[in-house]
Structure 1
Amino acid sequence: MDKRIEANRNTRLRIIRATVRLLGEKKLSDVSVTDIVEEAGVARASYYRNFDSKEDVLLDAGRMIIDDFKKNMQGIEGGCCSYDGVVKTFRYFLSYREPLLSFHRTGCTGIYEGLFQNYIEDEARKNDTDPSARYRASFFSGALFSVYVAWLEGGMEESPEDMARMFCAMAASAFGESR
């Protein structure tokens, strides 16, 4: 890879990580660009060369997390809507607990939620051609994310496996299936 491209990629990552760290301490509105560049150890010009706003930084952070999620979900029989997929989803949520908690505490959950739901809905529609698949996928992704947020707010005391069992039982009940 070209050294300039790699250097720019590293700068972007430093800015993203610094922003996420700062969100662990204060609200997004209280985080300044100066705070971010000082925490990241980069020049202010580097920030503006890579991002237009703090929200852009968070959107990139969310995309990185979703890209990692997509890689983790490859090879799951039945995809993200299967029991194994739901277990893996809760494990993934647990592994990204700190940045996702930072997003949530600062009121930026919506950025990540939209990316997550788009991915789940796209994957679910690939495997289901029924005209109502789109609505089931929307229900499933919204419910899964809402249960995740409740788990996050509750301190994530239950195991990912326990959460998957509870979620799948609730989803089966909602769809009139027995499990």
Structure 2
Amino acid sequence: MNNEKSNNPISIRSRQMIIQSLLKIMEEKPYQKISIKEITDAAGLVRKTFYRNFLSKEEVLYEYIGELMQEADKEFEALESLTPYSMSYQYFKFWYEHVHFLKLIHKNDLFIILLNQLQDYAPTVFVKFKADLMNNFDDTFLTYYTEFHSAGIWHMLEKWIDSGTKETPEQLAKIYSDITLNNPHLKS
């Protein structure tokens, strides 16, 4: 991906216009059939501006998901309690607020992009929010721990979208917390 993004206000605005244009076009047309020209035309920009900011359509989605992850990070920072329930509740509540985007990428078989971003993002979450709990473990354990939880919570999110988003963020957090704490929620 193009790691050196300009912080120039014009460049930032162009990137936002490109992101919003791609998302809007994806509402009507499959992602695979969308051209760069369509995106730039919808954004009122030239192709050169697209390639000055992005290498591909996929990179546009990565940047948007990265922005969402930064937004989620701020919400995690506001948590008073860092339990499996509170953290997963915050996670599912956040994605509930962005469920339209999740459905859009799922419909276009792009849900894996979210996992890729989550795997990049998760280690920083564990360092920031679980640092005191994780001090006694070696790097190998922490690597696999992060991968396991990233994939697990991502699969839960995907299953939630597949099943029509019937469960509330509270219900999903309870399930995740019970799994994490090895405390299955039994039928009454």
| 1:107 paired residue number | 109
1:178 Cα deviation after fit = 7.4
Deviations 1:32-51 (A, max 9, x none): 11211122222222212211
The answer as to 2:121 corresponding to 1:119 is: yes
Please name the residue that 2:4 is paired with.
none
- Structure 1 residue runs without a partner (length 5+): none
Spell out structure 1 runs of 4+ moving beyond 4 A. none
User: 2:42 aligns to what?
Assistant: 39
Paired residue total: 172
- Cα distance in 2 between the residues matched to 1:53 and 1:140: 29
The equivalent position to 1:69 in structure 2, one of 51, 65, 72, is 72
Separation (CA, whole Å) in 2 of partners of 1:159 and 1:141: 20
Q: Unaligned stretches of 5+ in structure 2? A: 1-6
Residues 117 and 141 of structure 1 are in contact (CA less than 8 Å); yes or no, is this contact kept in structure 2?
A: yes
Is the counterpart of residue 161 in structure 1 residue 170 in structure 2?
yes
- Determine what percentage of the aligned residue pairs are the same residue: 22
Where does residue 138 of structure 1 map in the other structure?
Answer: 147
State the distance in 1 between where 2:27 and 2:97 align: 16
- C-alpha distance in 2 between matches for 1:101 and 1:136: 28
**Within 2, Cα distance between the matches of 1:97 and 1:178?**
27
The two structures have a TM-score, normalised by structure 2, of 0.81
Q: Deviations over 1:78-98 (max 9, x none)?
A: 54x631111110011111112
Equivalent pair of 2:123/2:146 in contact (CA under 8 Å): yes
For 2:18 and 2:35, how far apart are their aligned partners in 1? 12
Q: 8 Å contact 1:121–1:141 — kept in the other structure?
A: no
Structure 1 counterpart SS, 2:8: helix
* Match in the other structure for 1:95: 97
Say if 1:49 and 1:137 are closer, same or farther in 2 by CA, change over 3 A. Answer: closer
Q: Structure 1 length as normaliser, TM-score?
A: 0.85
Aligned 8 A contact 2:85 2:176 in 1: no
Mapped contact 1:87–1:164 kept (Cα < 8 A): yes
Give the match for residue 85 of structure 2: 83
Paired with 1:36 and 1:104, the residues of 2 have a C-alpha distance of 20
Residue number in structure 2 paired with 1:23: 26
Letter in structure 1 aligned against 2:144: Y
Instruction: Say if 1:96 and 1:178 are closer, same or farther in 2 by CA, change over 3 A.
Output: closer
Deviates more, 1:158-167 or 1:35-44: 35-44
Q: CA deviation at 1:133?
A: 3.2
